Each structure stands twice: as C-alpha cells, then as structure tokens.
Structure 1
Amino acid sequence: MAEVLFFHLERQPLEAVLPVLLARSLERGWKVVVQAGSRERIEALDTHLWTFADDSFLPHGLAGGDYAADQPVLLTTGDDNPNGAAVRFLIDRAAPPDLAPYIRGVFVFDGNDPEAVAEARAQWKIQKAAGHDLTYWQQNDRGGWDKKA
C-alpha cells in the first residue's frame, strides 16, 4: 500500500508549494508524475517549473512529449505512468488511479475552495478504505506544514 499525503493549502498558492514538494521527491531519487484536472493547468505549470526561481528549475516534461519516459517529473491529465514514477501528485481535483503501485500519493488542494475541500474529504475516505497509510498536512502561519492527522 502507498503512503498518501493530503496537503491543505491555505496561505500559499499551488505555484509556490508544488515546486518545493517536487524538489523534495527528486532529492529522494523518486520520479514523479503530476496529474492535473486540465490541459491548461499542465501548460501553465510547464512554464512555471522552468521559471519559478531565478537560480534553479525543475527538470520535467509533458506526457505525450519526446522522452516522456525519461523525465524525472512528468505533467499529465491522464492516469497513466509513462515515466515509471514512484510518486503521484494530484492537483485540481484530478481523479486518481489506483495508488497501490506508488510509494506515495500526494493530494494538494486549495482550502479556500469548498468544492476542493469536499473532494479531498471524499478522497480521504476512498484512500482509507483502500488500506493506504494516510496523513493530513495543513499550512501554518509561517508557511510551513503541521501534521494534523
């Protein structure tokens, strides 16, 4: 079974948080697939991951692109895993595939969006019923994370 983490965004947008979380996965030697709810979001993240910091970038590619299987981070709207990722990030209420083949599944959701919060709660129940090890992280006032469950 996978370790499944829920990150409840309240103080920073996804664009500020996602690069940090992706970098941590890469530091551990894990390939990552990021599944979003729309092609527009994937395209925006594609640009953002190249430019989010003046002194660094996150190597990545788009599903269906050249060398997708070789990418350390792959952005997709699908539920496949063409780069053999060990970690799957789910954003924008993307419907997850079975997370059992992954080391870690990560749901990142906007706490200011009631529909996103409701979907995260529904996913919590689904993932718990599937037997995964769940943790819930909420942003604190300093922009860090507090483990709440």
Structure 2
Amino acid sequence: MRVDFYQLSRDPAEAALPLIARNVMNVGERLLVVAADPQQRQRICQALWSLSSEAFLANGMAGEGDEERQPILLSDTVSPLNGAKFLAIADGQWREGETPFERTFFLFDGATVQHARDTWRMLRGRQGVEHFYWKQEGGRWVQAG
C-alpha cells in the first residue's frame, strides 16, 4: 500500500484533484474521492468536468445510481462502489476502508496539518505501507523529505 501526502498551500483540493485523477485514469485505474462536505464534493465534481476545454474527467456522486460505472466516484464514505483501487481523501481527514487501497492520495491544508502529521506517524509503524510527502513549490508538486 502506498500513501501520498499532499500538503495544499497555494491551491485547494479542487485544483489538485483533477491532475491526480487524470494520472489515475491514464494508468487505467478507477478513483474514489472522499470528502465529508457535500459542497466540496460538488466543487470537485465541477473541477473534474472542466479540467480543460478539450478534456474532462467523467465522474458521479455516490447515491445517484450507476456507481459501479463511474471511473471517478465522489462520496462521503470509503466505499469503493465503482471498484476503485485508488483513493483520494480531499478534506484532510484520514479514513480507511475495509480493504486497503493500492494507493491513497491524502490532501491536507494548514487547518489539518497536525492531523496529517499524526496520520504520518501512525502509518510509519505499519508493515507494508510506503508513504511519500509532496508539497507545492513554484506551482509544481515536488517530493519533500
């Protein structure tokens, strides 16, 4: 299992997630995006649909039906009804599903940085978990120590 910690400093999760989602789609995988706030999920949905004028990332909301057909499913729970092996946690609040995901993208900001640090320490003690830390530098994501 791999967990990528993304510290949001300049852009909100809605700006970072379309790029992550596009990369997940490019490797032929599905993504589950989790956030407790329905307004944040709606903003993420809009950002995915409007990634660029030539491209969009099809997605749907859990509870609206046809979840299993969605390449990107937005939800408030860690239930991969779309068969996703990749999870993006958009609101900085760590959650885990019953079955571990192959890869988790954990996005957090200044308000949730202490929780992210606690999560990092908790995961460091787990067998078989790789974790990486990314931060924004000059408009790009760079891996930090």
- Calculate the TM-score normalised by the size of structure 1: 0.88
The answer on 1:118 being equivalent to 2:114 is yes
Q: What is the aligned residue count? A: 144
The answer (yes or no) to whether the contact 2:34–2:88 under 8 Å persists in 1 is yes
Aligned to 2:91: 92
Q: 1:67 is matched by which residue type in structure 2?
A: D
CA–CA distance in 1 between the matches of 2:57 and 2:144? Answer: 29
CA–CA distance in 1 between the matches of 2:81 and 2:99? Answer: 16
Task: Give the aligned CA root-mean-square deviation in angstroms.
Answer: 1.6
- The structural deviation recorded for 1:39 is 1.4
The answer (yes or no) to whether the contact 1:8–1:108 under 8 Å persists in 2 is yes
Percentage of identical aligned residues: 28
Structure 2 unaligned runs (5+)? none
Cα deviation, 1:54-94, whole Å, max 9, x if unaligned, reads 22110111111221011110000012111110100001123
Q: 2:48 is matched by which residue type in structure 1?
A: L
Structure 1 unaligned runs (5+)? none
- Calculate the TM-score normalised by the size of structure 2: 0.90
CA–CA distance in 1 between the matches of 2:83 and 2:33? Answer: 12
